[in-house]
Amino acid sequence: MTTAPARSRHDEGGAAVEPGGAARPWLVLSAVLAGSFLHTFDMMVISVAVPSIQEGLGAGTAATQWMLAGYTLPFALLLITFGRLGDAVGRRRMILLGSLSFSAASALCAVAADPAVLIAGRVWQGASAAALTPQVLPVIVLLFGGKRRGAALGAQAGVIALATVSGPLLGGLLLAADLGGLGWRTIFLLNLPVGLFTIVAVLRWYPRADTVTPGRPRLDMGSVVMASLGLLLLIFPLVQGPELGWSAGVFALMALAVPVLLATVRRQLRRSRGGRYPLIAMSLFRRRSFVAGGMANFLLIGGVSSFFLVFVVYLQSGLDYAPERIGIVSAAWAIAAAVASGATVPLARRVGRPMLVAGAALMAVAMAALGLTLGLRGEETSTWIISGLLALGGLGQGMLSPPLYNLTVTDVPKADVGSASGVFGMLTQVGAALGVAIVGAVFYGLLGGADSAAHYTRAMALTLVCHVACFLAVAVILQRFLPRPARRST
């Protein structure tokens, strides 16, 4: 008996989506999420490894800063380009390119004998992650629908939370174990088996008949150069501002970014009106959900990134916590976020926008409670109390992030979903850089060069006012500007 061939589903642009049976979409997603794990893990693990790297390679302060900035800058600069490139040439190619490249860059980092080689490896890693990361959401949008899409987004949120937890925690444990005398090098070697799994799984399970925008349009290299230059002029001063002392030149670079970015926008509008393929799908900004969600996520990630920056400094330099202890304390946030992310899949369909607002408000309450506790109890505050309040903040983020991402990005036309993912990711990175720059300046300004535990605790408590304000602003934006969605799956 013969069976009729499975019919392909089609997206809004007319490109076929491989059906592949009930199991294949999840196998494809497992491969893509494994690659996505690498990016978040490496973003988090480096913070606990910095002291060991400084000691092992004799790296100074400037070199250490570039080990961090060398990853962030190319990642932020290339997200839009690689997101749109995925629309044009297909996700499979970009995922394979990103995974192969990231694995090779990790190997280079692991064998680095001096700071310059390690910085080069980190730059390579950041660029590779930019090729891989914007492809995750398009894969989910194209292969999953209805309730299954909500489950897929929940799986993505869980992987991000797992990588966030395992970064500082596993990094601290590996440094303490010093396997084979390799020390900090093991954190980069750990990327290799994960990268290999992604490559093999994509080759085995991801359909060769990839979904692309019809006609395979050419990427506009003029727009790529203009957008990259404008973002570089904006993000480089934000990342390096503290090291450069916030000189007049730093602000001049940021000012120069404005005309370059405006010229980039005008070029995208001209190409769209002329029926040519733009780097950035400007129609995205006519969608209220995309604009409101992008603004909210900009502030959300800025607040979370800046909090963990100053918080790790506080625990490490102020309270003299060992790396593994910092990882264990910080894990409370990520574990709570992972648990809450899974719960938001069914709840968001019934509760809708109020749950997002409640999540942002809960994060503000957690920051306020932590600030008050540190102010009243000082450096004697127990680890259990700190971990409990971090778990409260993580619970709020878990209620907010997965449905926000879904409501903001997954409703755009499928032909533009790569562009949407890249723009959303770029806004996230700029928000993180701006948050770190502003809150870091506030924290060190309050510290004033003092080095006692009491001074660090006071500075930390007062800095948390910034985070309370940030998360309250997210709640207001969501309540006032995010359209109330119809009851549906996330």
What is the reported pLDDT for 209? 64
Instruction: Tell me whether residue 306 is in a domain.
Output: yes
Residue of 2, 136, 127, 142 lying closest to 72 (CA atoms): 127
Long-range pairs for 43-47: beta carbons < 8 A, 24 or more residues apart: 43/71, 43/167, 44/163, 44/164, 44/166, 44/167, 44/168, 44/171, 45/166, 45/167, 45/168, 45/170, 45/171, 45/187, 46/71, 46/171, 46/187, 47/167, 47/168, 47/308, 47/312
What is the reported pLDDT for 262? 93
What is the reported pLDDT for 167? 74
Same domain, 319 and 465: yes
Residue of 441, 424, 430 lying closest to 73 (CA atoms): 430
Same domain, 32 and 151: yes
Determine how many CB atoms are found less than 10 A away from the CB of residue 163: 23
Residue of 399, 328, 388, 326 lying closest to 362 (CA atoms): 399
Strand-pair partners of 461: none
Which residue in this structure is represented by tokens 């190619």? 93
Instruction: Tell me whether residue 4 is in a domain.
Output: no
Instruction: Tell me whether residue 11 is in a domain.
Output: no
Same domain, 172 and 307: no
What is the rounded CA–CA span in Å between residue 223 and residue 279?
A: 6
Strand-pair partners of 10: 16
Residue of 79, 54, 55, 78 lying closest to 68 (CA atoms): 54
Q: What is the mean pLDDT of each run of 10 residues along the chain (490 residues)?
A: 40 37 71 83 78 80 77 86 83 90 94 91 92 86 75 76 72 78 87 90 79 60 87 84 79 92 90 80 83 90 87 87 78 84 68 86 96 90 91 91 74 74 82 85 86 90 95 94 59
What is the residue range of 297's domain? 286-483
Same domain, 266 and 124: no
Count Cα neighbours of 340 within 13 Å in the Cβ-side half-sphere: 25
Same domain, 272 and 372: no
Which of 270-281 are b and which e, b meaning 16 or more Cβ less than 10 Å from the residue's Cβ? ebeeeeebbbbb
What is the reported pLDDT for 215? 54
Read off the CATH number of the domain in which 160 is found: 1.20.1250.20
What is the reported pLDDT for 210? 62
Say what the alpha-carbon torsion angle 311, 313, 315, 320 is, to the nearest 10 degrees. Answer: 180
Same domain, 175 and 261: no
Domain termination site, one of 232, 256, 278: 278
Q: Are 448 and 421 in contact (CB under 8 A)?
A: no
Same domain, 135 and 250: no
Instruction: Tell me whether residue 337 is in a domain.
Output: yes
Instruction: Tell me whether residue 3 is in a domain.
Output: no
Same domain, 398 and 375: yes
Residue of 62, 66, 163, 167 lying closest to 123 (CA atoms): 66
Same domain, 235 and 178: no
Instruction: Tell me whether residue 14 is in a domain.
Output: no
Q: Any residues with CB less than 8 A from the CB of 55 and at least 6 apart, and which?
A: none
Same domain, 179 and 261: no
What is the reported pLDDT for 361? 96
Same domain, 150 and 255: no
What is the reported pLDDT for 348? 64
What is the reported pLDDT for 69? 77
Q: Are 168 and 45 in contact (CB under 8 A)?
A: yes
Q: Is the pTM of this model over 0.95?
A: no
Q: How many domains does the chain have?
A: 3
What is the rounded CA–CA span in Å between residue 18 and residue 39?
A: 27
Instruction: Tell me whether residue 488 is in a domain.
Output: no
Instruction: Tell me whether residue 5 is in a domain.
Output: no
Structure tokens at 178: 């010093």
What is the reported pLDDT for 9? 42
Domain termination site, one of 230, 247, 278: 278
Domain termination site, one of 157, 185, 210: 210
Same domain, 294 and 269: no
